Amino acid sequence: MAEKLLEIKNLKQHFNVGRPNEVKAVDGLTFDIYKGETLGLVGESGCGKSTTGRTIIRLYDATDGEVLFDGENVHGKKSRAELKKFNRKMQMIFQDPYASLNPRMKVADIIAEGIDIHGLAKSKEERMKIVYDLLETVGLNKEHANRYPHEFSGGQRQRIGIARALAVDPEFIIADEPISALDVSIQAQVVNLLKKLQKEKGLTYLFIAHDLSMVKYISDRIGVMYFGKLVELTTSEKLYKNPLHPYTQSLLSAIPLPDPEYERSRKRKTYDPNVHDYKDGEDVQMREVAPGHFVLCSEKEFVQYQAQYKHD
């Protein structure tokens, strides 16, 4: 049995709490992430994926719930030293490689920021050696260290962002839509780099994206989000072969295939949230329909999903 690295328990992130315009961006998420795996988190824009990642890493303070990293509560009261230690273990790769790098800093200083904060280099020479090694690791070269971000392409900037995340030797990386701002031809290169780094360094990823085909390629398990809630969670293979929740089915039906004949004839499924028609007080929760396959449903739907589950 794989060891749990991260436990998310009833996590909530609400904005404008108590006001008429309160937004429940993340509304009661519960899931685990195991050491060495990639958990993909998918859903349409505005469903709360990025907010989930930012709350896990404590860029936002959680409204409610727990985030346990190696058994320790991330959102508990912490001293500066404890926060510093936590920040070294968990890093983030941001969506926009243009906005996430300081345009006034040279690449060497951008990458070495974490090294400086955590005192990981004993001398300037050691600091530069670490930077050069990191540049090489992400497919760049040491001549790039003295340049500024505007001198690089989008794919190269994202590689710099990855090098910066790796600089403190983290255990866990949240990749927040790391390929959505890149050309399609570059996306596969960045995803392959992430897979390679995971294998070499034993990293664990939360990979947030809305491109389902890319998420399937990189993820061991996939969680599907809709309006702040997790509606389905299982292995990537099971999710694609046997989607149970109507929202998951609608997402998968929207993936285009390079087959004009198929595209002309296929029917896309649209998701109607009213199809569930839950009664007040009805017990709606994540239930395990089959081993490792969880779906948000009522007791009545649970029986229906079990009946329609296709066993391999």
Buried b (16+ CB within 10 A) or exposed e, 104-117: eebbbbbbbebbee
pLDDT for 2 equals: 80
Measured CA to CA, the distance from residue 301 to residue 73 in angstroms comes to 34
- Range 209-222 average pLDDT: 90
Q: What is the pLDDT of residues 69-91, one digit of tens each?
A: 998 998 887 888 888 888 899 99
In this structure, the number of other CB atoms found within 10 A of the CB of residue 310 comes to 9
The continuous run of DSSP H or E covering 126 comes out as helix 124-137
* Residue 181 scores a pLDDT above 90: no
Q: What is the pLDDT of residues 113-158, one digit of tens each?
A: 999 999 999 999 999 999 999 999 999 999 999 999 999 999 999 9
pLDDT for 136 equals: 95
Domain positions in the chain are: 4-308
CA neighbours closer than 13 Å in the CB half-sphere of residue 144: 24
Give domain 4-308's CATH architecture.
3-Layer(aba) Sandwich (3.40)
Q: What is the pLDDT of residues 245-271, one digit of tens each?
A: 999 999 988 887 777 877 787 778 888
Measured CA to CA, the distance from residue 176 to residue 74 in angstroms comes to 19
User: What is this structure's pTM?
Assistant: 0.92
